[in-house]
């Protein structure tokens, strides 16, 4: 993420013509502070909310929470994990008895000959996780089920495994078929 060529490294401000142009940090911070003040004057302290991204470290998430509560004095703070993972957390809680993380250490995958990934793209969303798929990939046992040709799906190329691209609505048939085999 830090070295991506599309990463923004300077603040941008949209001009009257709709085009973003680079501005100084002082200009950007003054604009943000002014907009925060104006929103809070119109709608009260909770007129401003903060939403943290999934790539924040624990330390940065803590600092963001402190900034929201102390500097902005808003009670409106949330993070993407609560929204993007809420359905997965509920399913994991019902099926595995826990609502966060994996029910096993990822190092357990290091010696697996076959790994099935359904609708997930860890090569882009959790790059360190991919190292635990290498053994399965070397044995042609990485199975990626995703209608998209993702970075993770490309790990199956050159004998690394199998990329299944279900058409919309056919993933249930696949899962029921797998459940039938398992049961």
Question: For 21, which DSSP code?
Answer: E
Based on the fold, state whether residues 114 and 163 are members of the same structural domain.
yes
Q: What angle do CA 18, 20, 24 make, to 5 degrees?
A: 135
pLDDT digit string, tens, across residues 89-125: 777 778 877 766 666 788 899 999 999 999 889 999 8
CA distance 61 to 53: 9
* Coil, helix or strand at residue 145: strand
Give the domain extent around 35. 1-43
Which tokens hold the place of 33? 């502070």
Based on the fold, state whether residues 125 and 146 are members of the same structural domain.
yes
First vs last C-alpha separation in the chain: 42
- What domain count does the chain have? 3
Q: Please answer whether residues 116 and 140 qualify as being in contact, where contact means their C-beta atoms are separated by less than 8 angstroms.
A: no
Which residues of the chain fall short of a pLDDT of 50? none
């Amino acid at each position: 993420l830090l070295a991506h060529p599309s990463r923004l490294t300077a603040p941008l401000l949209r001009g009257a013509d709709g085009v973003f142009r680079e501005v100084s940090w002082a200009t950007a911070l003054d604009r943000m502070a002014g907009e925060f003040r104006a929103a809070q004057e119109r709608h009260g302290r909770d007129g401003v909310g903060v939403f943290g991204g999934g790539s924040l470290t624990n330390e940065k998430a803590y600092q963001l929470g402190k900034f929201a509560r102390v500097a902005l004095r808003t009670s409106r703070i949330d993070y993407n994990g609560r929204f993007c993972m809420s359905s997965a957390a509920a399913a994991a809680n019902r099926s595995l008895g826990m609502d966060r993380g994996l029910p096993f250490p990822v190092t357990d995958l290091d010696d697996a000959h076959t790994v099935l990934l359904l609708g997930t793209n860890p090569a882009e969303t959790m790059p360190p996780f991919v190292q635990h798929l290498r053994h399965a990939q070397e044995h042609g046992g990485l199975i990626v089920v995703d209608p998209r040709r993702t970075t993770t799906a490309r790990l199956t190329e050159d004998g690394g495994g199998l990329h299944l691209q279900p058409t919309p609505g056919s993933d249930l048939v696949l899962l029921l078929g797998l459940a039938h085999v398992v049961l």
